[in-house]
Structure 1
Amino acid sequence: MLDIPRYRAGAAPAAPPGVRPHKLSSNEHFLDPLPEVLAALAGSTGVNRYPDATARPLREAVAEAFGVSADAVLPGAGSLEVLSRILQAYTGGGADGEADEVVFAWRSFEAYPIAIAAVGATPRPVALTPQGEHDLDAMRAAVGPRTRVVILCSPNNPTGPALDHAETADFVRALPADVLVVVDEAYGEFVRRPDALDTLALARRHRNVVVVRTLSKAHGLAALRVGYAIGDPDVFDPVWRVVLPFPVSASAEVAAVASLRALPRVLERAEAVVRERELLVDGLRERGIGHPDAHGNFVWLPVGDRAAELADAAGRAGLSVRAFAGDGVRVSVGERDATERTLAVLDAFSRS
């Protein structure tokens, strides 16, 4: 276990005196949750009692929002916890003593190799394309007899591109039917690509496809830790055997249900994030700063070995961003002041 790297969360900003700080390192929503969600949370009582052991109110709310059965919903304390339980159920040391394998794109979410190694499986990272996209052909070639799970991240964190539906459908059809495909859609509400992957449609056609989502991003409930997966109930049967009782707290569940019932308004607020993202992207384009397609609530700046230097420059301006040593910097979409200050930092950085 000591060989497994620890997850490193985005740092809080430390602004100079008189400068308003902006945390742009954790891809959090810059708006508070909806008023009715905050009201539901404030009115949550009965904390001396356990919540429903299977988070049924949450599962029913997800089912109603997306037209599936409650049995097709797997709840958890954030999407990563849901993914971890899936990996625990489907991968590990293997019956013959050899480790199972999990294929995923890299660079992608930092917690993937941690979660995979924690269950005793072997991570099989596959390099992204130069455009920061999944190389689906290379990922298919990496699938072997020991592969049990393939993880797709759309849009990809930290680079930003979203998967194309037709290409992903072809990819799934080419895989062995006993390989589970987990699509991480933590940032799915921010995708505006017209040919983007329709994960629920894909999951209806292929029982080995599971969609994992969170309420931390577009719903603005990061502190409450609520996530879920949608898929075939039979696929979830072995996962339920390793899900701990009471996977979501009562207060978190109350807020999540209220937010899911107001989904159209949540999506309107996601549109506000997209508009701010496009202003940031336009500013990058005007300055000739190359970057992959941005479909999350963040942009990726592939500055390579200057990642730490750029992060330090942003920090001096009261902006905390996420540096990935040797690769680049991820900047979360924030309020207008954060956007303008980010572009000003980049102007100075490009002259240095």
Structure 2
Amino acid sequence: MALAALAPATAAAQTPETFYKGKDIKVLIGAGVGGTYGLYAQLATRHMRQYIPGQPPLVLQAMPGAGGIVALNYSANAAPKDGSMIHLVHAEVLFETLMKPESKFNARDFQYIGRFADADSIGLMSRQSGVRSLDEVRQKQVTMGSTGRDTAFALGPLMLNRFAGTKFKVIAGYKGTADIHIAMQRGEVDGAAVTLANALTLQGAAVKSGDLVPIFAIAENRIPDFPNVPTVTEFGRDANEKAFLDIYTSTGTIGRALAFPPGVPKPFVQVLREAFEKTIVDKEFLAEAQKSNTPLAPMSGEKLAAYVEKLMATPPDRIAAARKINQDLMEEP
């Protein structure tokens, strides 16, 4: 413990350039390298180095487990706090902090460097389902495929049932998004919620042709690409429901964002924020993102920290009510 406590002080005694010269920076992700966390982390490892004083190599470190919770626990409680590790934090960091008081991390304590992209989601219906709007789902039962009932993609339709009077039925147990889309083509399910990145890239042609129809969004605000599609936050009927929806959609707003663990000296945070801002306008970075169809929706570390602080300041009674709503949704048949 004494040695760990000395690390921030040791780093603070040096300039970032002196500290980073000859050192690596680990880029931690709480998922496998094949998904979007790995995608954005690898973009960071290839393009941020040149803008960090001392130009330290950035090395990807994957720590999958419990939907990103293992890495969040490590980052908050055991990771070095000397600036030698940055974390592409799991998007659920704020939702987990507020909905699960037993969490061993706090979203407020992470020091946000910047966000590469949001992680908003959208509900798509197949052409053969005949469903073209959310109003139609108030009139008849519509099935939605999902990998599990506790995922954001399942919670979205379940929330709309409660808040908007829809009649979605979640069919869980699919192995992944690809399997769900096959099920949609076979007519096993009527639709599915997917990330906006998925809707614009992998399913982009089907959306443009009308084979897939967007009818709701899981986002804080309406998505510019689909301005006529309502988002779940529009259906909160009272202050408690609105508080829950704001907390729930924080996963999309936080998206794919870099952060330092708690306790890293402020000068290092500022240096990495500046490096991030230069990276997201770098021509080679932008060219690689475009070539790989990687969506970008940057947000500065300062703005992301302010967003997290705003939601963390939600009154305790609203948080308690939001937890009750979340528990009720988990227990719905």
TM-score, normalised on structure 2?
0.30
Higher percent of residues as helix: 2
